[in-house]
Structure 1
Amino acid sequence: MGFDIPPSALDSISSDSRKCIERLKAHQLEKVDISGRPSSRLAAVLVLLYEESGKLRVLLTTRSKSLRSHPGQTALPGGKVDDVDVDVIQAAYREANEEVGLPLDSPHIHTVCLLRPYTSSSRLLVTPVVALLTDTSILRNLTRCEDEVDRIFDHPLEAMLDPSLASEEPLVKKGSEDWLYKSDYHNFTDILVPWIGNSGYRMHRFRSSASPIKGLTAEILIMTAAIAYDRLPVYEHYAPNQLTKFKDILRYLDAEHAPNQSGTSTPIGISAHDQVLTQ
């Protein structure tokens, strides 16, 4: 589902970046209907792209270490859909405004497309909203919400496909609490996820200038980059036997909520999926 972007907005970026945005704009969503889901189970994140030195970058945050869920972890601005939100798009922009002070209704921010929903560790259905920022001076005026965000930073989008492209970034020191791994730019761990029929799951981690980009945030950015640059990552994206279609994952999620033989719903507990998404 593409959105109208003024030609002047695309004229303001390089031809390579313009091609990336046009591919995202033309992206066709996997057809899965979640309109009947309660809004309390829906969330949205904003994938805000902008160009710097001819390359697309994405805005990220490090969550406050005082938060109860996923403290100190990298996140895209976003959160649960509220009653005041007319849709997931409004929810993504509202959360970005609350978390980092991104202005609402700016003529320099253009919605590009939606990606298919992802399932969070708490079983929320998270819809990524991809947007293009054409006036980067707005970034200088961003203000983090101290209760929710410890740091605002960014990362080259293409480095999600080829992690070595981050070599020129001011990356955190190897061996520090933000990159404990021996690899220079990227590593992963494979597990089996019981609640998705023992599907494989590959937890990717990317070294950045702040906290590691991993879990759900990494998954969303890998997909965004793959569509934008029209190519696969240089590494193997998925674990053996990993479910990649949202409709298949949703089927297991529905089964988890279905009444069991006693007539009660299956409880949602902490599973390996919850653990891997927070490592």
Structure 2
Amino acid sequence: MAFEIPSTALSQISDQSRRCIERLQKHQAETVDLSDRPNSKLAAVLVLLYEKSGELRVLLTTRSKSLRSHPGQTALPGGKVDDTDEGVVETAYREAFEEVGLPLQSPQMHTICVLRPFISSAKLLVTPVVSLLTNLSLLDNLKRSESEVDRIFDHPLEAILDPSIVAKEPLVEKGSEDWPYDTELYHPTDIQLPWLANSTYRMHRFRSTASPIKGLTAEILIMTATIAHNRDPIYQRYAPGQFTMFNDVLRVLDSEQHSNSSSRLGTPVGIATGVV
């Protein structure tokens, strides 16, 4: 899926930011066939990038603490695919409109690319849609959905690769509810995922001006930043033995679900846990 961005839009940002956007445009996502998946298992998020003071930043939200799923956590605007949506791109923009008031259609918002899907802890297949905003005045009119969003904030994209970059920001207080860790800017832990055949997963956490950036949101931003800046993070991205290819993760997830279903019928099925 190729998207065109007018040269007039790219001329409004710095050379460094333009090169980042061009790399994202050229990115070839890992091929994943989701045609047999019901919409109830599909979702999309909007990775909205814009330039401030010569650096690319990304729009983020803190989810309402009254929500049943992931209350108070950092998120990209997004949600499940509706049957009326023509695709994940429409889903991402519709959800951003509903959650933070971004216009559904604006000549100042340009779709850059669609990344490969990610699997959430709720076993949703979440597709990131990356977009460039060239008119920052639209940010002045954002209005959060009070039932879904507590805060709207942003974060330097490159700080996802090098957390020291964010030290210049007015960060949340260390030791507070929003950063209860003993590290300054970045806090990783390796955990096991029972719902994914007990595979190992590195949980990344980044300190911000609001809630910690972690989990699925962090994973999506790591991929976005790695592509845009054409370099790896300064930290170790994966835990030893962690799956690095999405199709391998999807294969294990499907095997796990099939195993659980067959076990309930009295016919155990082995789980493939290796990378193939």
Aligned residue number for residue 257 of structure 1: 257
Aligned residue number for residue 52 of structure 1: 52
Aligned residue number for residue 226 of structure 2: 226
Aligned residue number for residue 43 of structure 1: 43
**Tell me, what secondary structure is at the counterpart of 2:187?**
strand
Aligned residue number for residue 247 of structure 2: 247
Q: Distance between the aligned counterparts of 1:72 and 1:192, measured in 2?
A: 23
* Equivalence map 1:175-254=2 (5 Å): 175-254=175-254
Q: Distance between the aligned counterparts of 1:35 and 1:230, measured in 2?
A: 31
Q: Distance between the aligned counterparts of 2:104 and 2:32, measured in 1?
A: 29
Amino acid across the alignment from 1:180: P
Amino acid across the alignment from 2:20: C
**Tell me, what secondary structure is at the counterpart of 1:260?**
helix
Question: Any conservation in 1 of the 2:197–2:253 contact (CA below 8 Å)?
Answer: no
Question: Any conservation in 2 of the 1:200–1:242 contact (CA below 8 Å)?
Answer: yes
Q: Deviations over 1:211-260 (max 9, x none)?
A: 00000000000110000000000000111100011100111121133241
* Equivalence map 1:52-201=2 (5 Å): 52-201=52-201
Q: Deviations over 1:140-181 (max 9, x none)?
A: 000000000000000000000000000111100111110111
Question: Any conservation in 2 of the 1:195–1:252 contact (CA below 8 Å)?
Answer: no
Aligned residue number for residue 271 of structure 2: none
Q: Distance between the aligned counterparts of 1:227 and 1:60, measured in 2?
A: 19
Q: Distance between the aligned counterparts of 2:181 and 2:2, measured in 1?
A: 39
Q: Distance between the aligned counterparts of 2:32 and 2:79, measured in 1?
A: 21
**Tell me, what secondary structure is at the counterpart of 2:40?**
helix
Q: Deviations over 1:61-98 (max 9, x none)?
A: 00001111111000000000011211011000000000
Question: Any conservation in 1 of the 2:186–2:206 contact (CA below 8 Å)?
Answer: yes
Q: Distance between the aligned counterparts of 1:99 and 1:261, measured in 2?
A: 40
Amino acid across the alignment from 1:183: T
**Tell me, what secondary structure is at the counterpart of 2:113?**
strand
Amino acid across the alignment from 1:248: D
**Tell me, what secondary structure is at the counterpart of 2:140?**
helix
Q: Distance between the aligned counterparts of 1:248 and 1:36, measured in 2?
A: 17
**Tell me, what secondary structure is at the counterpart of 2:237?**
coil
**Tell me, what secondary structure is at the counterpart of 1:186?**
coil
Question: Any conservation in 1 of the 2:5–2:111 contact (CA below 8 Å)?
Answer: yes
* Equivalence map 1:27-38=2 (5 Å): 27-38=27-38
CA deviation after TM superposition for structure 1 residue 120, in Å: 0.4
Q: Distance between the aligned counterparts of 1:191 and 1:243, measured in 2?
A: 13
**Tell me, what secondary structure is at the counterpart of 1:60?**
strand
Q: Distance between the aligned counterparts of 2:150 and 2:119, measured in 1?
A: 24
Amino acid across the alignment from 1:59: L
Q: Distance between the aligned counterparts of 1:175 and 1:166, measured in 2?
A: 17
Shift of the 68–262 alpha-carbon distance from structure 1 to 2, 3 Å rule, reads: closer
**TM-score scaled by length of structure 1:** 0.93
Q: Distance between the aligned counterparts of 2:140 and 2:52, measured in 1?
A: 13
Overall identity of the aligned pairs, in % = 67
Q: Distance between the aligned counterparts of 1:87 and 1:32, measured in 2?
A: 15
Q: Provide structure 2 residue ranges, at least 5 long, that are not aligned to the other structure.
A: 269-276
Question: Any conservation in 2 of the 1:257–1:265 contact (CA below 8 Å)?
Answer: no
CA deviation after TM superposition for structure 1 residue 263, in Å: 4.0
CA deviation after TM superposition for structure 1 residue 262, in Å: 5.4
CA deviation after TM superposition for structure 1 residue 13, in Å: 0.5
**Tell me, what secondary structure is at the counterpart of 1:187?**
coil
**TM-score scaled by length of structure 2:** 0.94
Q: Distance between the aligned counterparts of 1:142 and 1:186, measured in 2?
A: 29
* Equivalence map 1:9-24=2 (5 Å): 9-24=9-24
Q: Distance between the aligned counterparts of 2:199 and 2:19, measured in 1?
A: 35
